[in-house]
Amino acid sequence: MKLLWCLKMIPKLANNPRFIEDCRRYQERIDAVEDQGNRIALEKLLVQLKTQVSYIDRSHDQIILTGKMGDDITDIRSNITSIKRTLDNKLDQIERSRSAVKPAPHPNVE
């Protein structure tokens, strides 16, 4: 029983204010994407990011319970880095292309 209480007291990465803020920022940027296909792909990446972070949290619980670190922890961290890089790159690319497309100037009407 004491061990379960201990697990509840361990801070979770998914509840970390920085991670929550990153997710909020990503979601705001995704919401601004006009192309639905791109938006869906980006939302899937965000879900993958949150899933990988929950895997890290569970791995930390496993370390406390068993005293052993899972073999997949390095892969999970690499996945998180890769997903964040992909999200950033795709969002930057979409935002750059959106700002590059400027409406044609209106002719002066006299």
DSSP label of 72: T
The reported pTM is: 0.80
- Measured CA to CA in angstroms, residue 104 lies from 23, 93, 101, 107, 109 at distances of 35, 22, 9, 9, 15
With residues binned 3-state (H G I as helix, E B as strand, rest as coil), the percentages for the chain, rounded to 5, are 75, 0, 25
Indicate the helix (H) or strand (E) that contains 58.
helix 36-66
User: Which residue would you say has higher pLDDT here, 26 or 99?
Assistant: 26
Enumerate the domain spans of the chain: 14-96
Each residue of 62-105: pLDDT tens digit?
A: 877 787 877 788 899 999 999 999 999 999 999 999 887 665 56
Indicate the helix (H) or strand (E) that contains 6.
helix 2-9
